[in-house]
Chain A
Amino acid sequence: GENVGLHLPTLSVQEGDNSIINCAYSNSASDYFIWYKQESGKGPQFIIDIRSNMDKRQGQRVTVLLNKTVKHLSLQIAATQPGDSAVYFCAETSGGSYIPTFGRGTSLIVHP
């Protein structure tokens, strides 16, 4: 896969604020996108995914937005809590591949 990157390496927010984590990708053939959360000392954990035929998908307190025109993906976390503090990775696959390409990650720090 081609490069999948993040705009900000670290994001600090106050508890209760909304958080937005951004991700840019360069492969125009990417058709499946995933966000993972990695807490300290643990393996990454799936949060939410979206396919390229959608531009928005909502989960519990999280929303993923996909803008294929500018090849941009974002993860919005509503009412951020200290337990949301973690590193967040975006990943993408294309052409039905099950081998995702990961971005470098954004560290989210939530201050009580």
Chain B
Amino acid sequence: NAGVTQTPKFQVLKTGQSMTLQCAQDMNHEYMSWYRQDPGMGLRLIHYSVGAGITDQGEVPNGYNVSRSTTEDFPLRLLSAAPSQTSVYFCASSGLAGKLTGELFFGEGSRLTVL
């Protein structure tokens, strides 16, 4: 198993550009989520999904869109990048049917810089 795979690992954008951070997991996990990590702020939840076709907002959803067309993939879209979105982004997944727990499996992160 590859676990949770994120691409790209690094990205530099100009203000106003759009991009998609990709996340894929091969563990048949129902739950997937996106966090951003900023210095001194810990991990903040952006969006999450409890299964294909179902998404919901987390703590800091503004400026981000998600979709969940398959169990495996959960892309995060920045429609018009802003410098405030400079951060490290982590995708995480959890749980099999009937065995959802708080243990998350994280990807390696995507470092985004918006100029």
Contact = CB atoms under 8 A, between A and B. Distances in A.
Interface of A: 32, 34, 36, 41-46, 49, 89, 91-93, 96-100, 102-105
A89 B43 contact: yes
21 contacts: A32-B102, A43-B90, A43-B107, A43-B109, A44-B43, A44-B104, A45-B106, A46-B104, A49-B101, A49-B102, A49-B103, A89-B42, A98-B95, A98-B100, A99-B48, A99-B58, A100-B102, A100-B104, A102-B43, A104-B40, A104-B42
B80 to A, nearest CB: 27
Given A43-B92, A92-B102, 20 more contacts: A32-B102, A41-B108, A41-B109, A42-B108, A43-B4, A43-B90, A43-B107, A43-B108, A43-B109, A45-B106, A49-B101, A49-B102, A89-B42, A93-B102, A98-B31, A98-B95, A99-B45, A100-B102, A103-B42, A104-B41
Interface string B1-30: 000100000000000000000000000000
Interface of B: 4, 31, 33, 40-43, 45, 48, 50, 58, 90, 92, 94-95, 100-109
Nearest to B30: A98
A69 to B, nearest CB: 22
Given A104-B40, A104-B42, A44 B90 contact: yes
Given A98-B95, A99-B33, A34 B42 contact: no
A32 B100 CA distance: 12
B41 A43 contact: no
Contacts of A45: 106
Contacts of B95: 98
Nearest to A104: B42
Nearest to A102: B43
Contacts of A32: 101-102
A44 B106 CA distance: 6
